[in-house]
Amino acid sequence: MKASVDYVLHLADNALVLGQRNAEWCGHGPVLEEDLALANNSLDLIGQARLLYQHAATLISGDGALAQRFAHLQGARQGGRITEDTLAHFRDTAEFRCHTLMELPHHGALVGYAVAERDYATTIARNFLVSALMVLVWDRLQASKDAQLAGIAAKSLKEVRYHLQHASDWLVRLGDGTDESHQRAQAALDHLLPYCEAFWQPGPAERAAAQDGTGVDITALRDDWNALVNETLTEATLTRSDQPHEGYVAQGHVGLHSEHLGFLLAEMQSLARAHPTAVW
């Protein structure tokens, strides 16, 4: 049995977009060690995305109806085939299925006197919240009826365990550190937690994958995720306030994105689109 291409793309898009966001710290890390740590984190995520996009490309090439659906991408690169590159670089914003949380910039609401567009507490808090989810998702996906997806999950689980440990350690340092670091970590959590509500509102592809055994029932992971999150927040002396923003649940995973994703993709995809026949 094979997972649906939409479910595989959902997982791939999450990994790619968060990997691209973390890569924006390259050369801007607060200390050299963290510059390298986030670069390695990004490489892990983009590596996961590659494996998932390769799997999605195979699913598309083996299904006439899917090939027709993605026919607009077939002329995007030399050879006319759907590959990991075409799926990453030539789909438009509305075709992506990543959670809105992944695409947000590295800050909350900027004040007029902000000196940078990057806030490390926001980056760490997001990595922590996402890694706490994905360590559960990849663990369950090792039992997927899609053998290829199960293999990707086993490899990815090893990486995301490190991501969770790294983000957890830093969140504790920031939350239980100085008054300023505590305030900034708390502000980052207050900004990001409401976007996590989308985790528990699965789209059609996630629901179908859970039903046929190729995916996981994401809603069944909520208690375990809460336990992981609350344990670290307690150690970090941080509190939770994660009500959805004015009752709204982010909808990036069903194609309704924030304004930020388009700008991110424009930068990420510009070289491939400018030179579509290039090989390297």
Q: In CATH, what number is assigned to the domain containing residue 131?
A: 1.20.1260.10
Spatial neighbors of 247 by CB under 8 A, at least 6 apart, are: none
The token duo for 183 is 């305030």
- Section 139-160 average pLDDT: 98
Given a cut of 80, whether residue 172 has pLDDT beyond it is yes
pLDDT at position 74: 75
pLDDT at 244 over 60: no
CB 196 within 8 A of CB 101: yes
Burial of 242 (0-12, 13-18, 19+ CB in 10 A): middle
The first and second tokens of residue 49, run together, are: 């995305």
> Degrees (nearest 5) of the Cα angle 96, 98, 101?
140
pLDDT bin (cut points 50, 70, 90) of residue 176 is very high
234 within some domain = yes
Count of alpha carbons within 13 angstroms of residue 118, beta-carbon side: 13
Please indicate, yes or no, if residue 98 is contained in any of the structural domains.
yes
The mean per-residue pLDDT over the stretch 233-240 comes to 96
| Residue 279 lies inside a defined structural domain of this protein | no
The most confident of 23-27, 119-123, 138-142, by mean pLDDT = 138-142
Average the pLDDT over each of 15-19, 25-29, 163-167 and give the range with the smallest value. Answer: 25-29
In this predicted structure, what is the pLDDT of residue 170? 97
Backbone angles phi, psi at 256, to 5 degrees: -105, 95
Residue carrying the six token digits 């986030």: 38
Q: What is the pLDDT of residue 126?
A: 97
Instruction: Provide, rounded to the nearest whole percent, the portion of the chain with pLDDT above 90.
Output: 75
Q: Phi-psi category of 146—alpha, beta or left, where left has phi over 0 and alpha has psi -120 to 50?
A: beta
Q: How far apart are CA 196 and CA 175, in angstroms?
A: 20
Cβ neighbours of residue 27 closer than 8 Å, sequence gap 6 or more: 35
Predicted confidence (pLDDT) at residue 93 exceeds the cutoff of 60: yes
Q: Is the pTM of this model over 0.85?
A: yes
Angstrom CA distances, 162 to 45, 73, 136, 173, stand at 12, 35, 13, 17
Spatial distance between the Cα atoms of 261 and 221, rounded to a whole number of angstroms: 27
Work out the angle at residue 170's Cα, subtended by the Cα atoms of residues 33 and 176, and round it to the nearest 5 degrees.
Answer: 135
pLDDT of residue 269: 93
Query: Which strand (E) or helix (H) includes residue 3?
Result: none
Decide if 251 is inside a domain.
Answer: yes
- Give CA 160 to chain center in angstroms: 11
Residue 204 lies in a domain: yes
Residue showing tokens 């809460």: 226
- Residue span of the structural domain in which 179 resides: 5-274
Instruction: Residue 213: count other Cβ atoms within 10 Å of its Cβ.
Output: 13
Report pLDDT for 114.
Answer: 62
Contact between 38 and 46 (Cβ < 8 Å): no
Instruction: Let me know if residue 280 belongs to a domain.
Output: no
Q: What is the mean pLDDT of the chain?
A: 92
User: In this structure, is the dihedral angle defined by the CA atoms of residues 213, 209, 16 and 277, taken in order, positive or negative?
Assistant: positive
The CA–CA distances, whole Å, from 66 to 8, 69, 71, 128 equal 13, 5, 8, 35
Decide if 219 contacts 119 (C-beta within 8 A).
no
Looking at the predicted structure, is the pLDDT value of residue 220 above 90? yes
Q: Report the number of distinct structural domains present in the chain.
A: 1
Whether residue 154 is contained in a domain is answered as: yes
Q: Which residue has the tokens 């000196």?
A: 115
